[in-house]
Structure 1
């Protein structure tokens, strides 16, 4: 009995323990579930709170952005995201889609003047939420770099904006994306007119540019705005220079349209990324002090030197000579270098474009004052070109007293030659002419000289040479088979390569070096000229399309640049720059140059073109051997065309068709104002009886306007 009771008791206790354990486990599970539910609820509440805070922040940011956009746009709201497309161009003007024009015009943005836009990069950033189960991502627009721009036209595709290189670079997209597109934000803003700018060159080379004002005006003519931090890339003589905008007034972003700005160009940022000093391409060279250097084959090393006013006057008068020495170390190899010299504004002379050069083998000397080109006060550049191998050299510029060089001597060569001429006149008493060397020799030593001369000397029989040489030197004396120049035998190969190997110009012309230099100085459309209107050194371009501009000797660039208008100083009328002298002569009685620029009736057209083009300046001279003859001549009144060599037909056509009808019409007019009649009667050729305001400065005939005066000069003069 007791055994059964104990077994029952143990069973009961075991069942109770099992029940308690199950109850405890159930309670633990329920507690854990409640804790997890509480955590989930807490996370949901936190996410909701964060979302509400972010939404409130986004709403506040949007409101602030809206207020900022409205304030920047002076009440006009335009803030769009576009896909930016890099396109070639010069300046900072965008191409926007047509919808942008509609939206802006609906807000009367056109009535507020020029439109400006703030351009920035719209980048995406991902942020993770605090939830342990999932991550939430959001896109946030961030304005990293920004700049300002104008608008060129509204012709871009919808959703895209075409961005020129200047804007593309200054918003931080210089390298571009893999697809060539970038998301940008374009916001309409109003900008004040700039009054002051401080610019810092990125390297010290810009200080050598002769006319900073003209270079900056040419660059900013294509710009609408400027912002602090922008990098302006200006070009002079085909070389790019970077200018960093350091300061602007009255704001950090200003308009450069129709405003006069004071510009300071401060010291260059002449430190490299590693902190070392950046070296200018033009190394300064003092007169009388030499510098050494090394130039690899096919590369240039440039130097600059200046001639002051005192030395300049002495050099111009012939009292002093200006010499450039280049000593080349030729020992141990065939290394050699050539030297090219250019007068500023030519900063970097090359074998295609230079004023002086020397290609002698080994060391060489250039006497700049013996070239026939005027040399005086100014700055000059020297280019040392590695002709073959890596060459060590020493360059020296010195000023010496002018000494008459012996006739026949070739400056810069190592061998000396004698001259067949003499300061004595043939037939002078006491002298006799040697038949071998053609020298005048005193009678007392003539027999001795003749015996010695016939034994040791010989005359070169090459046409136009006649140099007397030692018989041992005659073996080394040769002449170029193409140009006939006298050379040493070891110089012939280099001479042929330098002077007779064809060179290809960027315009497509293939010429030898001397012809190439003339080509680049006179007729090449890629040649650099100093524009008479903007003062900058720019590419000349092809011949002017306008016939009158060609008669005046204007290049394509000058024809376009001269078409810009500027207010007349006297009457404040907007006059084209190329017509300003005509306007002043006709309307204000000022000096005019039109008489020397226009054709006369008796002068053939083909004979005048070369003269007038050469009169325009050395930058646009035309060789006399190749006068310009137009393929056809067009009547400036009825546009009838005549062959280029039939100029008499054009003159007869104008006289019979246009001038006769003009005289008949003018003879029937009556005077309506006594004041005008007195003005007209002062000119005997004026038969016009209407109210006339402009008189021709050549013949005195009165016409109605400057446009009529222009037509009158074309027809008559």
Structure 2
């Protein structure tokens, strides 16, 4: 392989006065279009210089004439090295940094630097730039193309307390997306996965890189080992203090819960109480209820990373009315391994009796009950009439009242009760109807209490626009926002099935997620290839499941193997063609009977089979392991021994077995009994053992034909009978077809 050309290029630019765009992250910079043209010219010249040969004697075999050298120089490919790395120098203070390229779209003679590069070059942010301090702008920036070694190791030192998360996986994803190089003594600011208030980016100091003689290393297309130093004593103490404070501030109760296993507890302030349900009957609906109407319920499954919260849930109840009912046919629960429940007191639902303003609740008790039952229609019968002819309906409260009491009832009812004029059917005591409300934008209704303004809560939950804090999506209600956060939000966290990291799913630009079932990140991550463990073909990770299904269909469609017609043999008849035998025997068993000369009536074949039978019955094979019932030696080795045949008895027993019609009918006729070697007989016993080991009633396991083939396939690699049985079972798991498949 030829050496890569060394790219020689440098230029000086003015620093762009505008703020870097949000897409310019990590150690990336943006150069003008003219810089790309100059870089391509430099790359072409470097490639031509590499290909140019020294001038030799024209008689030499490796002589290249001048016109050929010129043609090679002109045809030199304009290809930039990958990755393209630059050393960036602030000519005002002499500070240097290493960078990768984002794009070539800057204004002429200007360079745009990321926030990370600005900090490394000691350049203030554009908001701090002033006309009084023009030198602080780092106005002249020198950019030169260089080559640095591939990194193999980096050691990071945490600079903050609160080292709680799996930073190795977070770092791998952050560095892969945002960085081309790592420089010693630079500071990495890595975003936390948990976007909690008051938590800034976590900072690491790049303490050491390898190769050790390098000031900076390239981290693209290399296996980089990341080592994070442990926290010092003060950081560890502060991390422990923060952890204890979080535990104290969180829910007073939570954890696993069972069906029909109620949980009582309290919710402090605006915290969450979290429960998880792992075992339930998947054929019946799940009912989740908290009788306290001021306690909100949010439910998700383990398909959503983390616990449900106000803006992330699949099922919820905020109005304090009925239970949450999860149907067994709901697609969200089909493949769920766990149901996660969060309880919370709505922060604006409690009213101060004195000031009449919302206030936080110090402690709220709750009683959580999860039950399962057959689906029932829980709609109440709104008809107040019954079949009793002595009753009639009150015109005011619409209740069924006995006719004899109607006069007294209406006198009292009309003076004291008011029926809701909006048609919800509720009856109120006069003077309290002002607290009853109906929403003008939907069909919801409710009643305010002295401590809780349920109308304000409904309007805030159902009819207040909200913006996703992870992207630019704007929702018309909390339910729309929750649907967005748990489905299409680019920052929704997923556990990638290919890299097994918790990462954002990213934006679905081409709408393929609905078709493939893969998140955008998984679609890109699954583009990597690996070898199929069955056929050893190179397959993309995202196509491996479909590829293995083809193997599974191919396996199940395989016909039952044909075992040698000789009952003592354990070989498979792999081919039966016009030149092969027609007896259903394997090549080893058929070898002694083979007729090389012309025998159109198969008379000679029948005589050879008869001679072999008579030899076995009258003389025996003399093998100590033989148990063949059609052999003198085998009959004697049986327990108890079988009597030997006389010549007359042997001839009478053999004659029906060696007729031409009986021999040529193959599997449709009687079996053949020829003696075999000891290894073949051992394999026969192993195959029979495997066939009846799993299910003696033939409802599971593998048929003896498949077991025979498995033993034959692995017999060369096995060292003993136990090893043969284990290897044959492994082969059957991959390639065999069970009886019930």
Give the alignment's TM-score, normalised by structure 1.
0.46
Q: Please state which structure has a larger fraction of its residues in strand.
A: 1
